[in-house]
A and B are shown apart, each in its own frame.
Chain A
Amino acid sequence: MKAAALAGLAVLALILGFVSADLLRGTPTTEVSPAPDFELIDLNGVSHRRADYAGQVLLLNFWASWCAPCLKEMPRLQAAYARHQDQGFAILGPAIDDSADAAAAASRLEVSYPVSAGGAELFALMDALGDTLGALPFSVLIDRQGRIVERHWGELDQATLDHWLNSHL
């Protein structure tokens, strides 16, 4: 009986912990929402619209050549892209940068997914995708149904990237 009472209390504590964490933190859990339409013109002049990636899992990774953590995570993203491209995983890399700097960095890092470059219009797209900081890197995962299912501010580590791919690919 004592053991049962203790077990009951433990379960209650865990439930309260999970419920209260969000309340205390004051931040929302993921709200799945439709991704806005967008068009990115990559450094080769090719257009990429959200609709072009219907049925695929699309990672939008905002970066810049002046952002060290962005450059640090890009080989990780490139490896995931190479490994999972056949499963319908795509990446677009809009850079808050000028074209020459973005192209040089992407080339040096041997990035093969499409990269584009821009300024204010990319910050506007970040806003539309749910950004609140205007800092980099900022990553958004759009699932096969065209919904935003993940957002991440700062360097995307391997564990988080793997978790995203396992959950959505």
Chain B
Amino acid sequence: MPDLASWRRLPALLLLLLAAQTAQGGLLDGRDSGPGFLPADEAFVLDALALEAGQIEARWLIAPGYYLYRHRLDVTPVAPEDITLQWQAPAGEAYEDEHFGQVNIFRDELSLPLRVDSTAESVELEFRYQGCADAGLCYPPQTRRLRIALPAAK
């Protein structure tokens, strides 16, 4: 039976336990311990809503450690067919890519104002985007379609 002095050392042993867990995680993370990355829809959460007639804001919430490429961003109208859509992506953050040179990226959050010329009650837009994780993983180009209700013009 350990004496009192031994029990006093229990916190140190608990730290050792924690260290063992941490060490094991570090050693085996690369060995089929699961992806360790977020699915694309959790890394880049997209939503869009109409702020007022003719004005839509698309917003991506970008998880820490992940980023979207500016040059891979695209929005196109799906329905109605006669819709006119205008948008201009913000500048983003300059990023030197070893293979692709100087590119611009978005981190944390991307708000994209869209101007829509339509009298329809709603529009359907197609969003295309692509991003990566700093830890060395890239997602294929993502395509999402969103239907957005439009407020009536006053």
Q: Which of B16, B135, B139 contacts A134 (CB 8 A)?
A: B139
Q: Hey, which chain B residues are within 8 Å of A153, CB to CB? A: 35-37, 137
**Smallest Cβ-Cβ distance to A9: which chain B residue:** B13
Chain A proximity of B21: nearest CB distance (Å):
4
Q: How large is the interface on B (under 10, 10 to 19, 20 to 34, 35 or more residues)?
A: 35 or more
- Residue A21 is within 8 A (CB to CB) of chain B in the complex: yes
Task: Find out whether the CB atom of B16 lies under 8 angstroms from the CB atom of A10.
Answer: yes
CB of B94, distance to nearest CB on chain A (Å): 15
The answer to whether B136 touches A72 (Cβ under 8 A) is yes
Beyond A2-B2, A25-B25, A150-B32, is A69–B136 a contact (Cβ under 8 Å)?
yes
Give every chain A residue within 8 A of B39 (Cβ-Cβ).
Answer: 133-134
Of B2, B97, B99, most buried by chain A (CB within 10 Å of CB) is B99
- Is B78's CB within 8 Å of the partner chain A? no
Interface string of B82-121 (1 = CB under 8 A from A): 0000000000000001111000000000000000000000
A-B contact pairs, 24 of them (CB 8 A): A2-B2, A5-B2, A5-B3, A9-B6, A9-B10, A9-B13, A13-B13, A27-B33, A28-B34, A64-B140, A66-B138, A67-B132, A67-B138, A69-B132, A71-B99, A133-B37, A134-B40, A135-B37, A136-B138, A136-B139, A137-B137, A150-B31, A154-B137, A156-B30
Beyond the given pairs A13-B16, A64-B140, A72-B99, 13 more chain A to chain B contacts, judged by CB atoms under 8 angstroms and listed by A's residue number, are A2-B6, A6-B13, A13-B20, A20-B21, A21-B21, A21-B24, A25-B33, A25-B34, A29-B31, A30-B31, A66-B130, A69-B138, A136-B139
